[in-house]
Structure 1
Amino acid sequence: MTAQFVVRQAVADDADALAEVRRTVYSYKVMSPAALRYMLTVSMPEERFLPLVGEVDGQVVAWGSAGLNPWTSDPGQSEISVYVHPDHRKRGIGSALAERLHQHLTEVGAIRIRTFVQPESLEFAHSLGYDGARLMHFSGVQLSALPDQPPTPEDIELATLDQLDPRAVYTADTVSSMDEPSDSPIDAVTYDAWLDEIWRAPGLDKSLSVAAMAGDEIAAYTAVEVAGDRMWSGMTGTIPAYRGRGLAKLVKSVALRKAGAAGIAWAYTSNDDENGPMLAVNNWLGYQRVQTEHGLLRNL
């Protein structure tokens, strides 16, 4: 007899179980239980974030979330995420999560939904009305096998983010993100929201995140998120005026070495297929592709 499942709203105490399911489904995505707990408890009111879990016999086996994207000036943009433990698929859990989340997005005024899915989930996503051609590549590198660190230019000094004013990091982050490949521009990020969702998030390790300083200005930086013996490059960006000088390669190389010295074994990252410069940087660093997800859209 097939066990029945229950869909309910996620709470902070689900974080540990969710981290285990997430690592099983996405071995190449790094998020600690502490970071998951923070995500479940801290969100912008205008995001209208709804987190759900699917349970079988009291055990969390699936996750679903949806909310509006408040970091873009493009109205009605939203995101959805659904994943189910491989041992509990084909039982209707994913469909039940998607149905509740789509209803929620309709109620809060979403116009368009974005999601990313693994190749084996494409058929399921298409059946729900999603389509698109974007590709997101995920890759990893073992930190014991890095190339030599590039030299630091004479007019550049290196600093870790814990040494810097968060306002300066916010400026670098928002300016360098403006032309990131995306379905909607990332052009409406307020400082207070950035502090809550990025700077204060427990996954961000500011002592391992590195910036290239041109005087008092951040020219380039890379943000490191940590979970156990793995790390994730949350964002690597260069201010447009300093591009073409190899600074992204430099700060990422320094950060990976710091992480390795701190006992982290593996680093993972993702890059849009259209982001040729960062793909080249990661190839030089020795990253090997482990998965490609499909970026899909659905209009409501």
Structure 2
Amino acid sequence: MTVIIRSFRPADAEGWVRVRRAALPFMVTTPEQIAFDLANAHPDRRFRPLVAELNGEVIGTAQVGIAHDAAEPGQGFINAYVHPERLGLGAGSLIVRAAETYLADAGATAVYSWVLDGPANLAFAERRGYRPSRSAHFLHLDLANGALPPLQDLPPGVELRTAADFADDPRPFFEADAEAVADEPSDIPTSLSDYEDWLRSTWRHPTADHALTSVALVDGEVAAFSIAQTDGLTRYSSGGTGTRRAYRGRGLAKLAKNDSLHRARAAGYTDAYTGNDAGNGPMLAINKWFGYEICATEVRHVRELG
């Protein structure tokens, strides 16, 4: 049996999703998502998803590219996963090696990768010259059976809207998202400055649920938001919760997220997931208040390319 590493093809979408859902059950993944990501990636991102194939079956996947919006050029990324039932066949080593070669040719000087926090996964990364840096948690909330905090009364001057209300002009939402992203803890500081790219790759993303994304306005200005991503079935994921600097410390992000979660449950979603940097104490505290529990941890690794 020979494992083949090759570029993703549209016909691989179902196999891609099967691997990702098995390896990362706490993330929203759909067939439309990977095809969309490939078709709409910024050219400078050099995005190239790879698959590991065995006897016609997709057993591994890798998202590979350049963080084109990073403050420092040459920052590549590889996020590789093998189906848990197909471990030990060499697919992981082969797909990472192919990804590194591609990134080196694309001009990357360093490669960042998220690695699940387990002995085998961490040892795999170490053997390949990756060193650990920051960590992040996946959190799960049982929407079907858990008890959400009650909806709060809105403070004076505050109103809640949805992202769908910005369909004609999403720019105010973009500006709030850009300000929040700039302050997120990260190994690769990034900035959202390309509005058209954001429209194409984020606003129009197939997992973006505008009807369940809540936006808090203060005197008519976007102040805070909680982005909803869904698979259209049972899974809801927080795609980002943030507050503009001038409005922080007033509980507006919590207000928006609570509204979104309540409406997601009413829409029939049964499982809510989110992710937080391990050092992001304020957001971890907010999610604990909602009832989220840590279900997995990833450790960011980096390797310099010689």
How does the TM-score come out when normalised to structure 2? 0.95
1:6 is matched with: 4
Deviations 1:195-233 (A, max 9, x none): 111001111000000000113321000111101200110
Distance 1:178 1:247 in 2: 18
How far did residue 189 of structure 1 move?
A: 3.3
Cα contact 2:76–2:111 (8 A) shared by 1: yes
Residues 50-61 of structure 1: pairs in structure 2 closer than 5 A: 50-61=48-59
Q: What is the alpha-carbon distance in structure 2 between the residues aligned to residue 181 and residue 253 of structure 1? A: 23
Find the partner of 1:205 among 209, 218, 223. 209
Match of 1:135 in 2: 135
Instruction: Specify the code of the residue in structure 2 equivalent to 1:241.
Output: A
Unpaired runs of 5+ residues, structure 2, are none
Which residue is 1:84 aligned to?
Answer: 82
| Deviation larger for 267-276 or 32-41 | 32-41
Partner of 1:177: 181
Q: Which runs of 4+ in 1 moved over 4 A?
A: none
SS in 2 for 1:50: coil
Aligned to 2:266: 261
Q: How does 1:101-180 map to 2 (within 5 A)?
A: 101-120=99-118, 121-144=121-144, 145=146, 146-164=148-166, 165-180=169-184
Matching of residue 193 in structure 1 with residue 191 in structure 2: no
Would you say the 8 A contact 1:131–1:297 is kept in 2?
yes
Q: Could you tell me which residue of structure 1 aligns to residue 252 of structure 2?
A: 247
> Using a 3 Å threshold, how does the CA distance of structure 1 residues 214 and 192 change in structure 2: closer, same or farther?
same
Do the aligned partners of 1:12 and 1:40 also contact (CA within 8 Å) in 2?
Answer: no
Tell me the distance in 1 between the aligned counterparts of 2:139 and 2:219: 33
Give 2:94's aligned residue.
96
Deviates more, 1:179-188 or 1:61-70: 179-188
Structure 1 residue 264: deviation in Å?
0.4
8 Å CA contact retained: 1:150, 1:249: no
Q: How many residues align?
A: 298
Identity level (%): 38
CA distance in 1, matches of 2:193, 2:64: 19
Give, as a single letter, the amino acid of the residue that structure 2 aligns with 1:101: A
8 Å CA contact retained: 1:32, 1:226? no
SS at match of 2:49: strand
Q: 2:226 aligns with which of 222, 226, 229?
A: 222
